[in-house]
């Protein structure tokens, strides 16, 4: 058993969980491919990637936040608000929509960072407050309805067009993940983030600049949520102040399924991506199952099934990790 | 003068911890900083490095007035610190821990290869060959301490501060550390060395600064300060005689309460037989790595026994987990008190009675009066220095935290108490108090299994000593045969060979 694990570069319990999520993802893909005719059709693959890229983006930001032992509940509200800002500014220039949408996210992230590091408020409380504030701001700006984007400035290209045969949002998400991986694995700040999650006081005593790093992760999480909002507006042609509800839970679930401990101090970028894809894949498969026409699952049932699946994966992981630890 | 701290005062929530304390250190000298538990040594250090802000006083370092507001600044100015509570990131690898905050880089990115090689190289100078890619949490207290030391000495600092660096090291490791300190000294680096073991202080330090109750009460070259004078300055009175509670040499043999018969598990415990009698203190000696702690874990059910038998009052037992052992009246005070055991945000009262709560219940709720009585008793008996029993334990000095943990197990009223290095990190005043307390409890019928690396402690307190070597019990010396030479000989496993 140990030697087989070594083969997969499994060195510790965290790696094992990561291996688990990748295997589960591969299993689901295989299941879908065998059971449904068009599962691996280019249309399904491309629309799957296009739609789920925004979730992957917020999951990435969430991964960094959780690695420090924190949590960011504001990402859904931030994305909704950013989508409105982007839509409102899209008539001027496509880049205005993009940059200002991201800036809106960055502003929320900066506020989170400030409240958490300077005013010493628990991340859970701080981001709960900014989540409400962000939703409110979005609704105010949009006047309580969805805001249509401009189709003339080229803003919709971001969400709707392809590049080299793949959806642009997928490229954006891929770039963000490569960057995220570099930061975590190759730059000192990535190691510092993990050390902070391991113990904030200790990290401070070791001479790390804890506040700066913490502010940094919330800034990144906010900005990525802003980018997700831009993608949302561009893809669906409208800024949507009421979207984004529950996105933070999706992101947290992706991160956890990816083997990152909620207590902080460990985590992997690749496994977070796999976790996000895994959860999205369950959705996709449920849609196909409905399409077969034998059963018809309401959205509520889909939620129940997704929740159960999540539970099964997490329990399996915990079991595997406990076994690995005791050997 | 490299460092000069003058008139430093600091109060926590109105309770003074430092009252115009001072400390001066020259370049290339080793300065001992000594004092009882709670005297303010660690606080003084933390004020220097910017963990705490001082209320009053001035600090000059390297000729400049300084006022560090966080440890990162002190580190950048050339002060490397090993804090008393070993400060490493447990889930990060050994190599990362050594280099965290000053990672070797290539093209702006961490050079993992260079980091690994560098870490291996420094640890090699400490005679330590370990897998530096493994998380620090996988290693024992001594190895973690060595990693913390490696981290500090590779920082190219002008001043290295070591707050009780030897408390989890064995003699060989201490020798390595001292060699490292001498090397630092030769290259002009100053060292502040905090410790409670006098022999070590006299061996390595040039000068000594003595603190008592938050004040600096004496400064002197080490050579001009006899041991007795040093202790008097520290305690503010003469030390109660250490030998006073040595048991009588020919006490009658009492029935065996706990017995281990050819026990073994894994490679660390190969063949251990020992017996602890009613009302006696049985010592367990051996070098580091001889399997003492592992034997204790075996008895306590923390590790599963693979071979041999364990008997309580003649009956075979098998403990699957500590809860079974506890139910049978066995308590364990582990050596890793620095890391395990304390719940930092809980009060002294709660920490002390944590293991006791089930017994303290009256009609389902905690009997506060009895709780108070127990807490007050042990605070007094062990001399815990605290503002009140409701103070969070994390605010106590390191040594006082350990006393609380010791009290936690003493208070459970066990039939067998295993204590792993009970006086580690505890000042000499309180040390004899603790040994005396163990002796009193033994006289009342408790069986104590005391693991200790300090021979004088075993000589003073134990009724018999079982010596382990390489996972095997090689000798059991009764009180009348106990001597330092006999113990050392057995630890080196010579006698066993002769007997065979
Ligand atoms: N964060 C804190 N909050 C409140 N009181 C504190 C805090 N830190 C230290 N103290 C108090 O200051 C006093 C000095 O503690 P300090 O840790 O400096 O002692 P020490 O000399 O290092 O002792 P030891 O040998 O046990 O390590 C103690 O009475 C302790 O309770
Ligand atoms: Mg201290």
Of B76, B89, B109, the CB nearest to A187: B109
> Residue B248 above 80 pLDDT?
no
Contact B199, B369 (CB under 8 A): no
- Scanning A237-298, the segments in alpha helix (DSSP H) are 247-257, 269-292
Q: Identify the burial level of B40 via C-beta atoms within 10 angstroms of its C-beta, where 0-12 means exposed, 13-18 middle and 19 or more buried.
A: buried
ipTM of the complex, rounded to two decimals: 0.82
pLDDT tens figures, B185-217: 998 999 999 998 888 999 999 999 999 999 999
Q: Give the number of other Cβ atoms within 10 Å of residue A121's Cβ.
A: 15
What are B346-368's pLDDT values in tens digits?
Answer: 899 988 888 777 777 777 787 88
Interface test with A, best of B75, B100, B106, B395 (most A CBs within 10 A): B100
Whether the CB of B38 sits within 6 Å of ligand 1: yes
- Report the distance separating Cα B251 and Cα B461, nearest Å: 13
Q: Does any ligand 1 atom lie closer than 6 A to the CB of residue B12?
A: yes
Which whole-number Å values give the CA distances from B10 to A62, B60, B419, in the listed order?
40, 17, 35
Which is nearest to A259 in space by CA: A75, A65, A124, A66?
A66
Q: Are B235 and B36 in contact (CB under 8 A)?
A: yes
What is the residue whose two structure tokens read 């087989």?
A4
**pLDDT value, residue A327:** 41
Residue with tokens 């580690």: B424
- Joined tokens for residue B256: 């065996």
Tell me phi and psi for residue A247, to 5 degrees.
-60, -40
pLDDT in tens, A214-229: 999 999 999 999 999 9
Q: What is the mean pLDDT of residues B271-291?
A: 88
Residue minimizing CA distance to atom 1 of ligand 1 = B395
Residues forming a β-bridge with A167:
A162
Contact between A205 and B87 using a beta-carbon 8 Å cutoff: yes
Minimal Cβ distance to B92: which of A11, A198, A205: A198
Atom 6 in ligand 1: residue holding the nearest Cα: B395
Residue B334 lies in a domain: no
Q: Do A204 and B70 touch (CB under 8 A)?
A: yes
Q: In chain B, what residues touch A265 (CB-CB under 8 Å)?
A: 89-92
B432 lines ligand 1 (CB under 6 A): no
Q: Residue B243's pLDDT is what?
A: 52
Per residue in B157-180, pLDDT (tens digit) is 999 999 988 877 877 888 989 999
Comparing CB atoms, the residue among A182, A191, A204 nearest residue B71 is: A204
Calculate the CA dihedral of residues A199, B86, B163, B450 and round it to 10 degrees. Answer: 140
Nearest CA in chain A to B98: A206
Could you tell me if B46 and B152 lie in one domain? yes
Q: Identify the domain containing residue A260 by its residue range.
A: 40-326
> Each residue of A198-210: pLDDT tens digit?
889 889 988 899 9
Distance CA B78, CA B76 (A): 5
Nearest CA to ligand 1 atom 4: B395
Which chain A residues touch B71 with a CB distance below 8 Å?
A: 204-207
Q: Is the pLDDT of residue B249 over 60?
A: no
State pTM to two decimals.
0.80
B429 touches ligand 1 (CB under 6 Å): no
CA distance A133 to chain B (A): 32
Quote the domain boundaries for residue B448. 243-329+414-499
Q: Which of B383, B412, B441 is the last residue of a domain?
A: B412
Chain B residues interacting with chain A (CB cutoff of 8 angstroms): 51, 70-72, 74-76, 81, 83, 87-92, 96, 100-101, 103, 105, 108-110, 133-135, 151
Burial of A28 (0-12, 13-18, 19+ CB in 10 A): middle
Is residue A221 situated within a structural domain?
A: yes
Q: Is B85 in the pocket of ligand 1 (CB under 6 A)?
A: no
Six-digit token string for B57: 């006083």
In a 3-state reduction of DSSP, which class is residue B212? Answer: strand
Quick one: closest CA in B to A265, which residue?
B91
Task: Indicate the number of domains in chain B.
Answer: 3
Residues B384 and B454 in one domain: no
**190-219 in chain A: CB under 8 A from chain B:** 191-192, 194-195, 198-199, 202-209
- B-chain residue closest to A185, CA distance: B110
B396-438 pLDDT, tens per residue?
Answer: 888 888 888 888 888 888 899 999 888 877 888 778 878 888 8
Which residue matches tokens 């307190």? B461
Report the CATH number that the domain containing residue A244 is assigned in CATH. Answer: 1.10.3470
Rounded to whole angstroms, how far apart are CA atoms A201 and B99?
18
pLDDT at position B250, please? Answer: 56
Tell me which chain B residues have a C-beta less than 8 angstroms from the C-beta of A13: none
Kindly list the residues from chain A whose CB atom is less than 8 angstroms away from the CB atom of residue B89: 194-195, 198-199, 202-203, 206, 265
The reply to whether residue B110 touches residue A12, judged by beta carbons under 8 angstroms, is no
Run of H or E including B467: strand B464-469
- Of all protein residues, the one whose alpha carbon is nearest to atom 31 of ligand 1 is B396
- For residue range B110-121, what is the model confidence (pLDDT) as tens digits? 999 999 999 999
pLDDT for the residue B198: 87
Cα atoms in the 13 Å half-sphere on the side-chain side of B484? 6
In this complex, do B101 and A192 lie within 8 Å of one another by their Cβ atoms? yes
The answer as to whether A233 is a domain residue is yes
Q: Please indicate, yes or no, if residue B366 is contained in any of the structural domains.
A: yes
Average pLDDT over residues B25-44: 94
Question: How many A×B Cβ pairs under 8 Å?
Answer: 71
- Label residues A218-241 b or e (16+ Cβ within 10 Å = b): bbbbbbbbbbbbbbbbbbbbbbbb
Domain boundary among B240, B258, B287: B240
The whole-angstrom separation of Cα A208 and Cα B201 is: 31
Tell whether the model's pLDDT for residue A93 goes beyond 90: yes
Judge if B312 and B355 occupy the same domain: no
Look at B100 and A202 and tell me if their CB atoms are within 8 Å: no
Span from the CA of B368 to the centroid of ligand 2 (angstroms): 31
pLDDT at B457 over 50: yes
Residues in chain B within 8 Å Cβ distance of A186: 109-110
Among A201-205, B43-47, B88-92, B140-144, whose mean pLDDT is lowest?
B140-144
Q: A309 in a domain, yes or no?
A: yes
Structure confidence at residue B497 as a pLDDT band (50, 70, 90): very low
What is the C-alpha to C-alpha distance for residues A13 and A259, in angstroms, rounded to an integer?
A: 9
How do strand B30-35 and strand B190-194 relate by DSSP bridges?
parallel
User: Ligand 1 atom closest to Cα of B425?
Assistant: 25
**B491 and B349, same structural domain?**
no
Determine whether the interchain pair A194/B89 forms a contact, defined as Cβ–Cβ distance below 8 Å. yes
Per the domain annotation, does B337 fall within a domain? Answer: no
Backbone angles phi, psi at B139, to 5 degrees: -105, 160
Would you call B88 and A205 a contact, using CB atoms and an 8 Å cutoff? no
Residue in chain B lying closest to A327 (CA):
B266
| Residues of B whose CB is below 8 A from A199 | 89-90
pLDDT band at B495 (very low <50, low <70, confident <90, very high): very low
Model confidence band, residue A326 (pLDDT cutoffs 50, 70, 90): very low
Considering the domain architecture, whether residues B113 and B36 belong to the same structural domain is answered as: yes
Lookup result for tokens 């905050």: B101
Q: Is B259 helix (H, G, I), strand (E, B) or coil?
A: strand
How many residues comprise chain A? 327
For residue B395 and ligand 1, the question of a CB distance below 6 A is answered with yes
* Sign of the alpha-carbon torsion through B362, B367, B373, B374: positive
The position carrying tokens 């923390």 is B302
Residues B55 and B9: beta-carbon distance below 8 Å: yes
Which chain B residues are closer than 8 Å to A205 by Cβ?
Answer: 51, 71, 81, 83, 87
Q: Is pLDDT of A95 > 60? A: yes
B433 Rama class: left (phi>0) / alpha (psi -120 to 50) / beta: alpha
- B453: three-class secondary structure by DSSP: coil
- Which DSSP string corresponds to A16-29? HHHHHHHHHHHHHH
Q: Would the pLDDT of A325 be above 60? A: no
Kindly give, in sequence order, each residue whose CB lies less than 8 Å from that of residue B80, ignoring residues fewer than 6 positions away: B151, B152, B153, B155, B157, B159, B160, B161
The span from the CA of A60 to the CA of A225, in Å, is 9
pLDDT score, position B500: 39
Same domain, B207 and B282: no
A250 vs A303, residue with greater confidence? A250
Q: Does A31 map to a domain?
A: no
**Residue A9: its chain B contacts at CB < 8 A?**
none
Which residue in B213, B84, B62, B101 sits closest to A196, CA to CA?
Answer: B101
Instruction: Answer yes or no: do B89 and A12 touch at CB < 8 A.
Output: no
Does A314 reside within a domain? yes
B79, B87, B344, best to mutate vs chain A, most A CBs in 10 Å: B87
Supply the pLDDT for residue B151.
93
Q: If DSSP codes are grouped into helix, strand and coil, which group holds residue B286?
A: coil
Please compute the mean of the pLDDT values over residues A25-34 and round it to a whole number. 92
CATH (domain of B66): 3.40.50.300
Q: Residue B53, SS3?
A: coil
Q: Are A179 and A59 in contact (CB under 8 A)?
A: no
Share of chain B above pLDDT 90, in %: 42
How far apart are the CA of A119 and the centre of ligand 2, in A?
30
Helix A42-67 to helix A75-89 angle (10° resolution) is 120
Per-chain mean pLDDT for chain B: 87
> Rounded CA gap, A222 and A74, in Å?
8
Residue after which a domain boundary falls, among B207, B240, B273: B240
A153 located within any domain = yes
Contact criterion met (CB < 8 Å) for B87 and A202: yes
B287 or A213, greater pLDDT: A213
Are A191 and B96 in contact (CB < 8 Å)? yes
Question: What's the mean pLDDT when you consider all of chain A?
Answer: 89
Residues A69/A263, Cβ–Cβ less than 8 Å: yes
Question: Where on the phi/psi map is residue A62: left (φ > 0), alpha (ψ -120 to 50), or beta?
Answer: alpha
Length of chain B, please?
500
Reported as type and span, the H/E element at residue A89 is helix A75-89
DSSP letter for each residue of B411-425: TT--SEEEEESTTTT
Whether ligand 1 lies within 6 angstroms of the CB of B98 is answered as no
Cβ proximity of B366 and B357 under 8 Å: yes
Distance, in Å, from the CA atom of B55 to the CA atom of A121, rounded to the nearest integer, reads 26
Q: Is B40 in the pocket of ligand 1 (CB under 6 A)?
A: yes
Say if ligand 1 is within 6 A of residue B19 CB.
no
| Residue A14 forms part of a structural domain | no
In a domain, A76, yes or no: yes
Q: SS in 3 state form for B128-194? A: CCCCCCCEHHHCCHHHHHHHHHHHHHCCCCCEEEEECCCCCCCHHHHHHHHHHHHHHHHCCCEEEEE
Chain B interface test: which of A204, A206, A268, A327 (most B C-beta within 10 Å): A206
Residue B374 has pLDDT above 80, yes or no: yes
pLDDT of residue B299 exceeding 70: yes
Q: Is B471 in the pocket of ligand 1 (CB under 6 A)?
A: no
The CA distance from B8 to B55, in Å, is 7
When mean pLDDT is compared across A17-31, A177-191, B208-222, the lowest value belongs to A17-31
Structural domain count, chain A: 1
B300/B324 Cα distance (integer angstroms): 8
B97: Cα separation from own chain's centroid: 21
């Amino acid at each position: 058993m140990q030697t087989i694990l070594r083969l997969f570069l499994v060195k510790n319990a965290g790696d094992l969980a990561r291996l688990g999520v990748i295997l589960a993802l591969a299993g689901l893909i295989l299941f879908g491919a065998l059971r449904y005719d068009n599962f691996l059709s280019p249309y399904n693959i491309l629309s799957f990637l296009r739609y789920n890229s925004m979730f992957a983006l917020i999951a990435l930001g969430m991964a960094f936040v959780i690695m420090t032992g924190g949590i960011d509940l504001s990402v859904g509200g931030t994305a909704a608000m950013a989508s409105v800002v982007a839509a409102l500014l899209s008539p001027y220039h496509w880049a205005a929509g993009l940059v200002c949408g991201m800036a809106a996210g960055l502003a929320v992230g900066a506020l989170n960072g400030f409240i958490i590091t300077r005013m010493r408020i628990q991340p859970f409380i701080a981001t709960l407050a900014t989540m409400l504030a962000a939703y409110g701001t979005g609704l105010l700006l949009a006047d309580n309805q969805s805001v249509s984007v401009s189709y003339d400035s080229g803003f919709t290209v971001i969400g709707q067009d392809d590049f080299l045969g793949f959806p642009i949002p997928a490229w954006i998400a891929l770039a963000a993940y490569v960057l995220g991986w570099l930061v975590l694995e190759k730059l000192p700040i990535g190691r510092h983030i993990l050390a902070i999650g391991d113990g904030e006081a200790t990290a401070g005593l070791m001479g790390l600049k804890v506040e700066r790093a913490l502010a940094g992760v919330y800034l990144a999480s906010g900005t990525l949520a802003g980018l997700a909002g831009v993608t949302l507006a561009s893809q669906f042609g409208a800024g949507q102040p009421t979207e984004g509800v529950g996105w933070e839970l999706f992101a947290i679930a992706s991160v956890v399924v990816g083997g990152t401990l909620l207590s902080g101090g460990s985590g992997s970028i690749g496994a977070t991506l796999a976790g996000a894809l895994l959860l999205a894949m369950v959705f996709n498969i449920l849609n196909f199952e409905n399409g077969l026409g034998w059963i018809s699952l309401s959205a509520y049932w889909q939620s129940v099934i997704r929740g159960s699946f999540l539970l099964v994966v997490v329990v399996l992981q915990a079991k595997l990790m406990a076994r690995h630890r005791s050997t | 003068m490299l460092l000069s701290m003058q008139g430093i005062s600091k109060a926590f929530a109105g309770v003074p911890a430092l009252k115009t304390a001072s400390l001066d250190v020259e370049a290339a000298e080793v300065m001992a900083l000594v004092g009882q538990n709670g005297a303010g040594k660690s606080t003084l250090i933390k004020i220097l490095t910017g963990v705490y802000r001082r209320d009053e006083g001035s600090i000059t370092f390297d000729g400049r007035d300084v006022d560090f507001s966080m440890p990162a600044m002190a580190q950048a100015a050339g002060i490397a610190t090993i804090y008393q509570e070993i400060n490493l990131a447990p889930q990060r690898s050994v190599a990362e821990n050594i280099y965290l905050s000053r990672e070797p880089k290539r093209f702006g990115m961490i050079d993992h290869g260079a980091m690994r090689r560098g870490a291996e190289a420094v640890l090699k100078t400490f005679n330590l060959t370990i897998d530096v890619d493994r998380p620090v949490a996988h290693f024992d207290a001594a190895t973690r301490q060595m990693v913390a030391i490696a981290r500090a000495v590779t920082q190219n600092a002008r001043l290295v501060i070591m707050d009780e660096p030897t408390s989890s090291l064995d003699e060989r490791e201490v020798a390595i550390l001292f060699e490292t300190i001498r090397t630092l000294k030769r290259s002009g680096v100053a060292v502040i060395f905090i410790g409670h073991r006098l022999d070590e202080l006299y061996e390595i330090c040039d000068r000594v600064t003595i603190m008592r109750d938050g004040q600096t009460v004496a400064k002197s070259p080490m050579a001009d300060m006899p041991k007795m004078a040093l202790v008097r300055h520290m305690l503010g009175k003469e030390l109660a005689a250490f030998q006073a509670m040595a048991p009588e040499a020919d006490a009658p043999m009492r029935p065996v309460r706990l017995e281990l018969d050819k026990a073994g598990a894994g490679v660390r415990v190969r063949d251990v037989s020992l017996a602890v009698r009613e009302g006696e203190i049985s010592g367990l000696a051996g070098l580091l790595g001889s399997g003492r702690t592992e034997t204790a874990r075996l008895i306590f059910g923390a590790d599963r026994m693979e071979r041999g038998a364990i008997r309580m009052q003649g009956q075979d037992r098998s403990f699957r987990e500590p809860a079974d052992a506890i139910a049978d009246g066995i308590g364990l005070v582990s050596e890793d008190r620095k890391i395990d055991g304390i719940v930092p945000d809980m009060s002294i009262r709660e920490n002390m009675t944590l293991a006791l709560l089930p017994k303290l219940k009256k009609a389902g709720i905690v009997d506060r009066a009895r709780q108070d009585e127990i807490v007050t008793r042990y605070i007094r008996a062990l001399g815990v220095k605290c503002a009140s029993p409701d103070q969070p334990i994390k605010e106590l000095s390191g040594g006082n935290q350990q006393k609380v943990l010791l009290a936690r197990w003493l208070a459970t009223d066990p039939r067998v108490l295993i204590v792993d290095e009970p006086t580690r990190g505890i000042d000499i005043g309180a040390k004899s108090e603790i040994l005396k307390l163990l002796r009193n409890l033994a006289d009342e019928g408790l069986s104590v299994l005391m693991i200790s690396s300090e021979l004088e402690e075993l000589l003073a307190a134990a009724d018999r000593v079982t010596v382990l070597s390489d996972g095997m019990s090689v000798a059991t010396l009764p009180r009348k045969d106990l001597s330092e030479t006999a113990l050392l000989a057995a630890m080196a496993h010579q006698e066993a060979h002769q007997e065979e």
